[in-house]
């Protein structure tokens, strides 16, 4: 536990000591801000019966920002250490592989949450101005945030895995972007063109991230979604651990 | 468990795809010794050290540190070693004291203990005046000292230092060597280098490696003595060459000699003696008896360099 905390502190420090954390958070908040004001403008032109959170998180904006930021957050985690050689000093200390994997993953999670916390506060802020606050209830906003955390955690776990495979940051970023975009496009396909998928459609619809996010943004907490994300996150963390361990296979 | 051996390596082999980096290595290192691993680039020094530091496994064979197997008891071994890899990788964005504290915590020291130890190693390595500096802003010499301080911070039983003086200027090299020398006795130190003077100055045991095998293992003085065969005496004498030749040919104790021209009328004679005899006084007596002017008379000791060249060349000839 102590080792984990020491590692986590350094990992988190590395985001902010090298500016990359500020840049990613700053740029994301800028994009989120633009999209938020755009959607609020839309709300002013015509009435809608969907919650504001759903309006926002079913939009292209959310997915675009998510797809772009997560590879940037995780591309450095192992690739940079491998290319500079610090991976060698790290793994020759008495630290277990799980501690390394969890510390890297959770520090990326902290930055991810720092990115998405302000828009949540904005959603709550809308309550001050809205005549009808049914669309922005606390519960809805909380479950939306949970959805963002879970989808983000899944993407970051994939990113960590991609980064553990290579010593090049750009390959790591490209790999995790391809996996993330692949998952997103699959969801998009299931949602808007299920006919093309034929008999596979009902199976693949279980993997539709957009549909999951829609539920979270409506304030629906479905245990199936929780299990889905928890198992995928664990799977990728486990794979990352295996990759680290493979260095010591004979 | 504690039989005085710090490192025990038996028949260690490491194969990369299509290449054998180390081949049936066997050696042992006693506690408290400073051991130099000497060899040209690509001899397998770094590979040996990486295996001992538990960074990668061997293809076959056994390696034990402090009686513990590096493969099956890796965590226990890692607790007991301080390893500084080649090129000394560091987190450049961290401050010196912050980095050392982080490393001390990783190596299992408590918060209080790590603060204490970081203070001690910073003094020991001369880092006190840069303790708040960002590592990326430090000169190469200072970075090297940060690496050393990191390796020593948890008072490991064994220090494994891969080319600790690589890329330093002569003053820095001297201070790093002194530091390593001062560690002997309390710590066991294994350093690798391709610079021979380094080994002669700091180590009390040498392992000479080439192409993944150990060619010789002994104390530096004894290695030198084993090859030196009495050493050579160089004398610069002003005399007719023919007379000189005749003189050395019948000289007792001279195994072979060479004569070449020096500047002026002087000739430079290199005499190789039999059975380790020191020929200097005999040479002086003979030359002065003949009334020849003598301006230099030295005994050349074999350096480790000669030993090294001799061993690696012998190996080539065998192949």
* Residue pLDDT, tens place only, B143-160: 998 999 999 999 999 999
Q: Which residues of chain A have a CB within 8 Å of the CB of B81?
A: 92
Residue B314 covered by a domain: no
pLDDT at residue A124, as a whole number: 82
Residues B214 and B282 in one domain: no
Q: Does the pLDDT value for residue B229 go beyond 60?
A: no
Please tell me the distance from the alpha carbon of residue A169 to that of residue A163, in angstroms, as a whole number. 7
Q: Which residues of chain B have a CB within 8 Å of the CB of A2?
A: 105
Q: What total number of domains does chain B contain?
A: 2
pLDDT 10s digits, B39-71: 888 888 999 999 999 999 999 999 999 999 999
- Return residues 66-95 of A near B (CB < 8 Å): 84-86, 88-95
Test mutation, B54, B57, B84, B91, chain A, max A CBs within 10 A = B91
DSSP chain A: -HHHHHHHHHHHHHHHHTSHHHHHHHHHHHHHHHHHHHHHHHHHHS--SS-HHHHHHTSHHHHHHHHHHHHHHHTHHHHHHHHHSHHHHHHTSS--HHHHHHHHHHHHHHHHHHHHHHHHHHHHHHHHH-S-GGGG-HHHHHHHHHHHHHHHHHHHHHHHHHHHT-S-HHHHHHHHHHHHHHHHHHHHHHHH-HHHHGGGHHHHGGG-HHHHHHHHHHT---HHHHHHHHHHHHHHHHHHHHHHHHTT--
Question: Quick one: tokens of A37?
Answer: 């004001």
pLDDT at residue B1, as a whole number: 44
Mean pLDDT of chain B: 86
Residue B20 covered by a domain: yes
Residues B46 and B180 in one domain: yes
Residues B287 and B142 in one domain: no
Per the structure, the complete domain to which residue A62 belongs is given by 2-246
Residue B76 covered by a domain: yes
Q: Which residues of chain B have a CB within 8 Å of the CB of A84?
A: 89, 92
**Could you tell me if A17 lies within 8 Å of chain B, comparing CB atoms?**
yes
Per the structure, the complete domain to which residue B259 belongs is given by 232-300
Give exposure, A186-206, as e/b (b: 16+ Cβ within 10 Å). bbbebeeeeeeeeeeeeeeee
Residues B248 and B193 in one domain: no
Residue A17 to residue B57, Cβ atoms within 8 A:
no
Residue A6 to residue B106, Cβ atoms within 8 A:
yes
Residues B218 and B256 in one domain: no
pLDDT at residue A49, as a whole number: 75
Residues B89 and B142 in one domain: yes
Please tell me the distance from the alpha carbon of residue B312 to that of residue A12, in angstroms, as a whole number. 50
**Region B131-144 average pLDDT:** 91
Residues B21 and B153 in one domain: yes
Q: Does the pLDDT value for residue B194 go beyond 60?
A: yes
pLDDT at residue B58, as a whole number: 92
Residue B78 to residue A92, Cβ atoms within 8 A:
yes
Residue B210 covered by a domain: yes
pLDDT 10s digits, A76-125: 999 999 999 999 999 999 999 999 999 999 999 999 999 999 988 888 88
CATH number at residue B118: 3.40.50.300
Residue B313 covered by a domain: no
Q: Does the pLDDT value for residue B87 go beyond 90?
A: no
CATH number at residue B252: 3.30.70.3100
Residue A7 to residue B53, Cβ atoms within 8 A:
no
pLDDT at residue B182, as a whole number: 84
| pLDDT < 70 stretches in chain A | 131-135, 250
pLDDT at residue B119, as a whole number: 94
Number of Cα atoms under 13 Å in the Cβ half of residue B148: 32
Last residue of a domain, one of B204, B226, B248: B226
Q: Does the pLDDT value for residue B244 go beyond 90?
A: no
pLDDT 10s digits, B261-280: 888 888 888 888 776 677 88
Q: Any idea how long chain A is? A: 250
Residue A6 to residue B87, Cβ atoms within 8 A:
no
Rounded to the nearest angstrom, the minimum Cα separation between B187 and chain A is: 18
Q: What total number of domains does chain A contain?
A: 1
Residue B137 covered by a domain: yes
Residue B305 covered by a domain: no
Contacts of A172 (CB under 8 A, 6+ apart): A71, A74, A75, A76, A78, A79, A159, A162, A163, A165, A166
Is the separation of the CB atoms in A65 and A152 below 8 Å?
A: no
Residue B316 covered by a domain: no
Residues B218 and B248 in one domain: no
Residues B247 and B221 in one domain: no
Residues B179 and B255 in one domain: no
């Amino acid at each position: 536990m102590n080792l984990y905390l020491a590692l986590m502190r350094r990992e988190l420090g590395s985001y902010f000591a090298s500016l990359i954390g500020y840049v990613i958070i700053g740029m994301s908040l800028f994009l989120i801000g633009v999209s938020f004001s755009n959607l609020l403008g839309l709300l002013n032109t015509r009435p809608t019966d969907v919650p504001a959170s759903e309006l926002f998180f079913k939009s292209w904006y959310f997915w675009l920002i998510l797809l772009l930021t997560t590879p940037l957050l995780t591309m450095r985690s192992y690739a940079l250490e491998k290319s500079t050689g610090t991976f060698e000093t790290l793994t020759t200390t008495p630290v277990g592989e799980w501690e390394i994997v969890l510390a890297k993953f959770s520090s990326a999670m902290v930055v991810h949450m720092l990115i998405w916390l302000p828009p949540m506060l904005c959603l709550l802020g809308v309550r001050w101005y809205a005549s009808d606050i049914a669309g922005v209830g606390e519960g809805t906003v909380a479950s939306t945030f949970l959805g963002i955390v879970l989808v983000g955690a899944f993407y970051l776990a994939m990113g960590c895995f991609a980064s553990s495979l290579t010593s090049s940051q750009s390959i790591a970023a490209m790999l995790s972007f391809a996996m993330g975009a692949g998952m997103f496009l699959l969801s998009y396909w299931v949602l808007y063109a299920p006919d093309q998928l034929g008999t596979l459609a009902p199976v693949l619809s279980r993997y539709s991230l957009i549909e999951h996010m829609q539920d979270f943004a409506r304030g629906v907490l479905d245990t199936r979604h929780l299990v889905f994300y928890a198992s995928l996150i664990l799977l990728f963390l486990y794979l990352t651990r295996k990759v680290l361990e493979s260095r010591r296979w004979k | 468990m504690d039989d005085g051996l710090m490192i025990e390596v038996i028949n260690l082999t490491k194969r990369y795809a299509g290449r054998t980096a180390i081949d049936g290595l066997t050696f042992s290192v006693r506690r408290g010794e400073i051991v130099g691993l000497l060899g040209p680039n690509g001899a397998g020094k770094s590979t040996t050290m990486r295996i001992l530091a538990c960074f990668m496994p061997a293809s076959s064979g056994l390696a034990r540190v402090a009686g513990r197997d590096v493969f099956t008891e890796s965590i226990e071994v890692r607790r007991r070693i301080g390893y500084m890899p080649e090129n000394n990788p560091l987190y450049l964005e961290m401050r010196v004291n912050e980095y050392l504290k982080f490393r001390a915590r990783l190596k299992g020291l408590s918060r209080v203990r790590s603060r204490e130890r970081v203070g001690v190693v910073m003094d020991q390595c001369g880092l006190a005046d840069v303790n708040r500096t960002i590592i990326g802003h430090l000169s190469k010499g200072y970075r090297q000292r940060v690496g050393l301080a990191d390796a020593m911070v948890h008072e490991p039983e064994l220090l494994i230092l891969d080319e600790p003086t690589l890329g330093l200027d002569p003053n820095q090299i001297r201070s790093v060597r002194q530091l390593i020398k001062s560690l002997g006795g309390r710590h066991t130190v294994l350093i690798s280098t391709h610079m021979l003077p380094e080994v002669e100055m700091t180590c009390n045991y040498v392992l000479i490696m080439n192409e993944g095998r150990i060619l010789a293992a002994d104390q530096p003085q004894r290695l030198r003595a084993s090859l030196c065969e009495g050493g050579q005496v160089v004398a610069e004498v002003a005399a007719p060459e023919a007379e000189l030749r005749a003189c050395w040919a019948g000289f007792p104790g001279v195994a072979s000699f060479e004569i070449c021209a020096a500047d002026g009328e002087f000739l430079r004679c290199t005499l190789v003696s039999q059975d380790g005899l020191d020929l200097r006084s005999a040479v002086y007596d003979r030359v002065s008896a003949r009334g020849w002017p003598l301006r230099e008379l030295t005994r050349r000791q074999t350096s480790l360099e000669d030993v090294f060249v001799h061993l690696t060349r012998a190996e080539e000839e065998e192949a």
